[in-house]
Amino acid sequence: MELVSATDVRTDPKIGASIRRSPRGRRAISMTHRDARTMAAVGLFLLPALALVAVLMIAPFVDTIYRSFYNDNGFTRTWVGLHNYRTLVDDPAFGRSVVNTLMWVAGTLLLPVLLGLLLAVGTNSLRWGSVARFSLILPYALSGSATAVVWTFVLRSDGALNDILHTLAPGVTPPGWLTEWPLNTVMMILASTWQGTGAAVILFLVGLQAIPTETIEAAQLDGAHVEYMRGISNPIGVKVGTAMDSTWLQGLVTTLNPQNQPGRLTLIHRFGAKDIEASLPRAIEAVRQTGQAVLWICDPMHGNTETAAGGLKTRRFENILKELDLAFRIHADMGSYLGGVHIELTGEDVTECTGGARGLTDADLQRAYRSSVDPRLNHEQALELAMLIAERSQTRRADKRERAATQS
């Protein structure tokens, strides 16, 4: 979320590439000699590691595949083609081995990461969170041997888990936790998760604690950022993206405009062409449930920003057109009103956004890319977009007249 008052003017000093001036005075994007030397140095540093990977991993892998087409006893080798593979597939244990491997890979990769994320987020802001995290991270400090001893004590036939089952249900025969498939695999996944979750907690905590408190507070409805904007008398614009859920959007609009003053609040939706059909109807319905009078504006630019193969930021004109067209249609279908459009354009003959009447491609970007921040529409693309806006506006007025005539 980003809140902007009507008098707020900002510039972004960040430039994503080195810029030089051509003999005609135009700026162009180029790679400096320093960049080339840096890339060469990085390549030299990586070369020994890549060589080790090739020798110790890739070469044995290729050799194993080569040998799989032979009957090799270590002394003699006979070509058998796909016979070894047919034997492997016909083996009844092969299917179970594949399932077992998939279970192990999914369990040991997904469970520690998901649990680590939930535990890190859940304990990061708690007063006694450090104590809770210590108990969760402690198993990670244990060696593999110690972990095996602990879980063997728990899962063996006369272990702690079976003792508990005998106490709670004397007549029940406990399963073989370590001898029956797939139960034994599940138990090993749980043991691995018990030990490995601590590492994921540490990594996620490092990331969470590196987030500035101002950024976190800016997303809190009762934080200083929202409170400051609530006290501004000027109209306020709120940029709405895919990360803003319905409940939070409802709380935000009622907090910023408690008196429901018309013209006070503008919502600028910027979902992108691929997400607008799923996200915009939810946002419109959420605001409608609050009874707030807001002005809706479509920003089809920022949600469609991407990086081209050459490293330059660009926007596909067809995606801009698609998002804007869908915005008109969705607002009309839901009985809402699209009151404005945010466009970044220039009257110059730039090549910063691909597509349009001339069919600009990524290869054309270098020719006249002059923006230091975000890519803009050139005069032809802007005119084509303006024609779409005029067409949709005329259609909307015609529909309104038709409804009025029908009601009368």
What amino acid is encoded at 392 in this protein? R
The H or E element that residue 70 is part of is strand 70-72
Alpha-carbon gap, residue 177 to 154, rounded angstroms: 10
Burial class (CB in 10 A: 0-12, 13-18, 19+), 124: middle
State the pLDDT at residue 16: 36
State pLDDT tens for residues 53-75. 999 999 999 999 999 999 988 78
- Nearest 5 degrees, angle CA 12-CA 15-CA 16? 125
353: CB partners within 8 A, 6+ apart: 314, 315, 316, 317, 320, 360, 375, 376, 377, 378, 381
Question: Up-side HSE of residue 376: CA atoms within 13 Å toward CB?
Answer: 16
pLDDT, the chain, mean: 85
Lowest mean pLDDT among 90-104, 202-216, 226-240, 333-347: 202-216
State the pLDDT at residue 224: 79
Measured torsion, CA atoms of residues 81, 84, 86, 90, in degrees rounded to the nearest 10: 170
Give the homologous superfamily in CATH for domain 215-407: Aldolase class I (3.20.20.70)
In this structure, what token pair is assigned to residue 322?
A: 């698609």
11-15, 40-44, 89-93, 325-329: which is most confident: 325-329
In this structure, what token pair is assigned to residue 136?
A: 């969760």
State the pLDDT at residue 15: 33
Alpha-carbon gap, residue 220 to 252, rounded angstroms: 9
In this structure, what token pair is assigned to residue 62?
A: 């290729």
- Nearest 5 degrees, angle CA 259-CA 219-CA 233? 35
**Contact status, residue 101 vs residue 188, Cβ threshold 8 Å:** no
The domain spans of the chain are 37-90, 104-210, 215-407
pTM of the predicted model, to two decimals?
A: 0.59
What amino acid is encoded at 102 in this protein? L
State the pLDDT at residue 11: 34
**Contact status, residue 292 vs residue 265, Cβ threshold 8 Å:** yes
Q: What is the mean pLDDT of residues 115-125?
A: 86
State the pLDDT at residue 219: 72
Confidence grade of residue 408 (pLDDT, cut at 50, 70, 90): low
What CATH class has 104-210? mainly alpha
In this predicted structure, the answer to whether residue 255 has a pLDDT above a threshold of 50 is yes
In this predicted structure, the answer to whether residue 407 has a pLDDT above a threshold of 80 is no
Q: Of 259, 251, 241, 323, nearest to 287 (Cα)? A: 251
State pLDDT tens for residues 161-214. 988 988 888 888 888 888 888 899 999 999 999 988 888 998 998 888 888 877
State the pLDDT at residue 9: 34
